[in-house]
Structure formats: C-alpha cells, structure tokens
Amino acid sequence: MAEFTNVLQDRHTTFAWDQDRVPSEELLLEVLNEVYQHVPSKNLMFSYQIRLLKNDNDEIRKKVMTICQRNASHTLEEDRGNPQVLAPWLIGFNARWVSDLEKRYEHDSKRGELNGLGTNQRRTGASDKITEDEAKFLSAGQTQNENIEIGIASAFIMLAMANRGIQTGMCQNICRDYKYAEELFQVDDDERGMDFRFIMGVGYGKDIDTHHEYYDPRIGKDKKIPFPPAMVEKVYPRPPMEDIIRVIR
C-alpha cells in the first residue's frame, strides 16, 4: 500500500524538463509494454493507439508549442505557454477503429458495419439495414469506449512512468490543429487510425517547488513556467471531496 501511495504522490504535471537527462527509447518502450500487458481493455480490443515521438526537432517543437498556446486571447509574449509539450519525448493518443472486432463472438452485432469516426458517420460500405438512429447510437458507443480507455491508458502510463522516476505532462490544446497532429504522429499510416485526442510530454522533470524558467521557442526568450507543480492547488483549487465522491445508500 505504502509503495503505491508513493507512486501516486510522485506523479505530477511537469512543465520543467531536464533536457540533459533524457530517457532512452528502450526504457520508454519497456514501460509502455508493461502498460500494454496489464491495462484493462474491453475484450482486449484496444480502441486507441499510443504513438511515441522523439521531440528533438526545433521546427516541430516550435510548431507544437505555438499550436498549444495556453490562452488564445494573449499575445505570445503574455502567454505562459504549455511547456509540457517541450518534453524530450511526446506521446500522442488517437482512437483506433475496432467496431469490426465486436462481431468476433457476437455475430449479429451491427457495430462492425459502422465507421466509428463519431456520431452520424459510418464506414464505407455500411449496411443499408442500419438506420440513422442506430448509427448514431452505435457509433457513439465506440466513441465513448475510446474516451474511457484512452483515459485509463493515460493514467496507467503516468503511474508506470512515475514508478521509474519519469514524469509526464498532458496537453489537449493540440486540438487547435488536429490535422497537423495527425500528420506529425502519422495516424494515417494505419487504416485503423482515427481521431487524434491529445499529447503527453514524457521525460525527467526538475524539482516541483521551484518556479523554473524554460526557453520558449515561439519568442526566442526564457520565460517562467506557468506555476511550480507544488503550487497547483493554489492555482486551481480542488473542489471539496464530498462534491466529487458520493456514497449511495
């Protein structure tokens, strides 16, 4: 119990990265394989993909950092940025089409005839027997499962990395340009690759108490990280536990 608690406590959203000490690809793949072998997935279908990218191209780092602007209403000088995407490694999460796998044992299931790309859409060649309402319901079903499983997988990855002394930082602001993200992470190289979701930075983090500086490639200057991770609850106050956790009697 105590050891797992330590892992939970060691995990934090990281903004300041040690660029001189970078986890090897072999180590990260070892951690990701560990997650792959133990993470729960509905019927082991894995309705998502995890894409690992070495973040050492200056042009790409600047482009991703620019897309992931923290506050769209701020100038680049004013914007505190999302330096979690300046990590030495990036992980991209995208949905994976698995609707056809629903028919492995449930042969009458109509899920395999849907495109899985989202509500109101179908895959090419979908059966005319599927009504529009059925398409909405079943396609949304895969989307819901993707969201749940990507959330579970990202949590497992964060904790598995923390267990090795490696830190992580998630950012969904890549949603400002999903097309670029899909190209960067080569989602189209797999016919099952679907909607891109978010990025996770991975690397060795600096201490969590110091208001570190980072080099912002958007403006070519050093800038303070948004806030020291140890101060997160002062920046984003946590709601009362009783508002989140309810016991139903």
**Which pair of tokens denotes residue 133?**
């309402």
Rounded to two decimals, what is the model's pTM? Answer: 0.88
Structure tokens at 146: 């993707």
Structural domain count of the chain: 1
Q: Distance (Å, rounded) from C-alpha 129 to C-alpha 165?
A: 53
Band of residue 126 on the pLDDT scale cut at 50, 70, 90: very low
pLDDT at residue 117 tops 60: no
Write down the pLDDT at residue 141.
60
Question: Is position 158 within any domain?
Answer: yes
Residue 165 maps to which CATH number?
3.40.109.10
Q: Reduced to 3 states, what is the DSSP secondary structure of residue 42?
A: helix
Task: Note down the domain range covering 233.
Answer: 2-244
- 69: three-class secondary structure by DSSP: coil
Does 249 map to a domain?
Answer: no
Whole-angstrom distance, CA of residue 10 vs CA of residue 98 = 34
* C-alpha to C-alpha distance for 43 and 31, rounded to whole angstroms: 22
Lowest mean pLDDT, pick from 71-80, 92-101, 136-145, 162-171: 136-145
- The confidence band for 122, taking pLDDT boundaries of 50, 70 and 90, is very low
Decide if 122 is inside a domain: yes
pLDDT at residue 129 greater than cutoff 60: no
Q: Could you tell me if residue 95 is inside a domain?
A: yes
pLDDT band at 91 (very low <50, low <70, confident <90, very high): very high
Give the DSSP H/E element, type plus range, for residue 89.
Answer: strand 89-96
pLDDT at 29: 98
Length of the chain: 249
- pLDDT for res 106: 75
Other C-beta atoms closer than 10 Å to the C-beta of 242 total 8
pLDDT at 99: 77
